[in-house]
Amino acid sequence: MPEQPSGSAIAIREVSKVFGSGSDAVTALAQVDIDIRANEFFTLLGPSGCGKTTLLRLIAGFDYPTTGEIRLYGDDIAQLPPYRRPINTVFQNYALFPHMTVAQNIGFGLEMLGRPRAEIAARIDEMLRLVRMEELKNRRTSQISGGQQQRVALARALAPQPKVLLLDEPLSALDYKLRKEMQLELKRLQHETGITFIFVTHDQEEALTMSDRIAVMSKGRVLQIGTAHDIYDKPAERFVANFIGETNLLDAEVTGVDAATATVRVKGTTLQAGLPEGFRPTGKATVVIRPEHAELEAGGADRGTLGGLGGVITNVVFFGTDTHYYIALDGGGEFMVRRQNSRGAAGFASGDRVGLRIDPGAARVLRD
Amino acid sequence: MAERGPLDLKTQPGFGKVALLCLFLLYAPILILMIFSVNSGSIITHWEGVSLHWYGAALADGDFHSAARNTMVIAVSATVIATLTATLAAIGMTRVKPWRGLGAAFMVINLPLMVPEIVTAIATLSFFALVAGKLGLNFGIGNLIIAHTVFCIPFAYMPIRARLEDMDLTLEQAAADLYAPPWQTFRRVTLPLMMPGVFSGMALAFIVSFDDFTITQLVAGPGQTTLPLYIWNQTRRPMTPEINAISTILLLISIVVVTASALIARRRKA
């Protein structure tokens, strides 16, 4: 692993977390290395049980790593209790203090830091403005809606101006429309405050739309770190390709490798496929092609012009903006193509024979 | 076909009648007791007319006064000490890393609830006899306060522990996350949120001490008559409705204490 680049807000170095001991030991995190840059919107993405929440708890200080270092602007904070870390958390269930008003909740952190009353009062008002909740200042937290509680939780965590804000699936309890709204709101808050956000989610769409960079996690390991584009367009592993977006995975035979691409044969068709960094496949491999990177052509029987990939449509699912076509490939396997619905475009129906034209550069070999 | 939900007892035939019968059996004796407390005659089961005569008689009775005073001194002292102890025990058993023997400790605290009261009474009596005999110590009414404190602790403990266990632990994490050291977290978050449980525990402890008979009867020395003992002594003479009046006063005090604690608990929760 490379040394910590200067400018990292959080540097996680070879962090492991093992719960229990002896034969009951469960490894929640195994040798995790992540650098999170200052002012970045960084997302930990993975299915439940992948270790993302454990990692967040280690950064917050609710738990301590079994081995490894967690550095905040260079200082190892791994063993500090939570109240000694300039890091605040937005909890999944918000964890607002039910016996306090909205204003008292927001002022709690500053009060504990021993700030003067006048400063606290001013900061509470500023925070209420920031999350657009001025009129609910003196309400009890039990008297406001879920979306409003979410905003109070954000304001409470932002009020002490932490160096890093941790967000533990904060949008999962909201309904779809409110969630979309809060996604934009979070981006705005991050932009306006300039605070480093570390966001935990299992929702790949949320991760793709909000994050500057994403770390995809599975079974206590970080599989890939990159921008939304990197993760989506250049997944390095089968798990990443499967977890992010919809995916076609095809068995392939590697026939040649050069600097950045491999020549592969997929069901008799030869394709150029991109390679993950530093990966030199030989023999059998898995190739990923995103559903929007293939085009349907009528009359797939004419193999010569279409390069050979083809099959019969088994299912057509309409999604409003686009339509998904499920194709049983000649020679076995299924392939899904997503086509945007534009007026006048020729439609295809179940039972039609089609050929597939793969966009150049769309195929990528995966590390298994 | 009509939709079939889970078994709803209220729709079963005869539900209303059975419920009424149960309520009657529960409350009829108490109702009769209260009705005869305002009887003007002097025979407990013979109605002669409405009068508050026996309440006046009870309140003017010097023995009743001293019994009431003893009861209050014992109940209030035992409630305060037992609630404090139970609160510390509950915190110590819910806000620590699980340790070997935690389950056993829980059992030990609650076991007194299972022990037949007469056994506890005899044990307490022999304990104080031993202390008095070997060490020459007698704490007077303090003996009763100690005895009551001991059997009140599990009653106070249960609601406090339940409250602490129901409490969302992320609230305490949130406080720590917002720069509150452990003591501040306790003072500003845990303590205010556990108070409804503490009030319930206090109310239970008070009621249990207030009407205890068995242990008190064995441990109480001369001049340490409490209200239940006083009533018991009254029943061994020709009974007058004065006894109904005193019992009704006791009942009203219990109701007031329980209602007050329930109201406080509800206000805290809102």
Which residues of A fall within a CB distance of 8 Å from B98? Answer: none
Q: Using 50, 70 and 90 to split pLDDT, how confident is the model at B1?
A: very low
Which strand (E) or helix (H) includes residue B166? Answer: helix B141-166
Q: CATH homologous superfamily of domain A8-233?
A: P-loop containing nucleotide triphosphate hydrolases (3.40.50.300)
Determine the pLDDT at residue B5.
Answer: 67
A87-90/A364-366 β-pairing: unpaired
In CATH, what class is A246-366? mainly beta
How many Cβ atoms sit within 10 Å of the Cβ of residue B4?
7
| Chain A residues close to B179, C-beta within 8 Å | 83, 109, 112-113, 160
Check CB contact under 8 Å for A109 and B192. Answer: no
Please report the pLDDT score of residue A173 as a whole number: 79
A21, A59, A64, A83, best to mutate vs chain B, most B CBs in 10 Å: A83
Interchain pair A160, B188: CB under 8 A: no
Three-class SS state of B164: helix
What is the model's pLDDT at position B269? 55
Mutate which: B97, B166, B172, B177, vs A, most A CBs within 10 A: B177
- Which residues of chain A, if any, have pLDDT below 70? 1-6, 300-308, 344-346
Q: Give the global pTM.
A: 0.81
Per-residue pLDDT tens for B52-64?
888 888 888 888 8
- The residue of chain A with its CA nearest to that of B172 is A95
Size of interface A-B (CB pairs under 8 A): 64
* Domains parsed from chain B with CATH numbers: 46-269 (1.10.3720.10)
pLDDT score of A2 = 44
Task: Give chain A's mean pLDDT.
Answer: 88
More confident residue, A217 or B110: A217
> Quick check: A109 contacting B, CB < 8 Å?
yes
In the numeric block, the tokens 């019994």 are attached to B67
What is the C-alpha separation between B212 and B139, in angstroms, rounded?
19
pLDDT, tens digit, 9 for 90 and up, residues B203-261:
999 999 998 999 999 988 888 899 999 989 888 888 888 888 989 998 998 899 888 88
Q: Where are the domains of chain A?
A: 8-233, 246-366
Are A112 and B174 a contacting pair at CB < 8 A? no
The 3-class SS string of B28-40 reads HHHHHHHHHHCEC
Answer yes or no: are the C-beta atoms of A335 and A329 closer than 8 Å: yes
Q: Do A99 and B192 touch (CB under 8 A)?
A: yes
In A123-152, the residues whose Cβ lies within 8 Å of chain B are 140, 142
Interchain pair B168, A95: CB under 8 A: yes
pLDDT on residue A305: 42
Q: Nearest to residue A34, comparing CAs of A23, A42, A26?
A: A42
pLDDT at A345: 63
What is residue A22's predicted lDDT score, i.e. its pLDDT? 81
Give the C-alpha distances (Å, rounded to integers) separating A54 from A48, A69, A162, A238, B252: 11, 15, 20, 24, 54
pLDDT at B50: 85
* pLDDT number for residue A6: 53
Taking the CA of residue B266 and the nearest CA in chain A, the distance in Å comes to 12
Instruction: Using CB atoms, pick whichever of A83, A89, A156 lies closest to residue B181.
Output: A83
Residues 83-102 (A) with a CB less than 8 A from some CB of B: 83, 87-89, 91, 93, 95-99
Q: Do B168 and A93 touch (CB under 8 A)?
A: yes
ipTM: 0.82
Sheet containing strand A353-358, edge to edge, reads A294-298, A353-358, A310-318, A322-329, A334-340
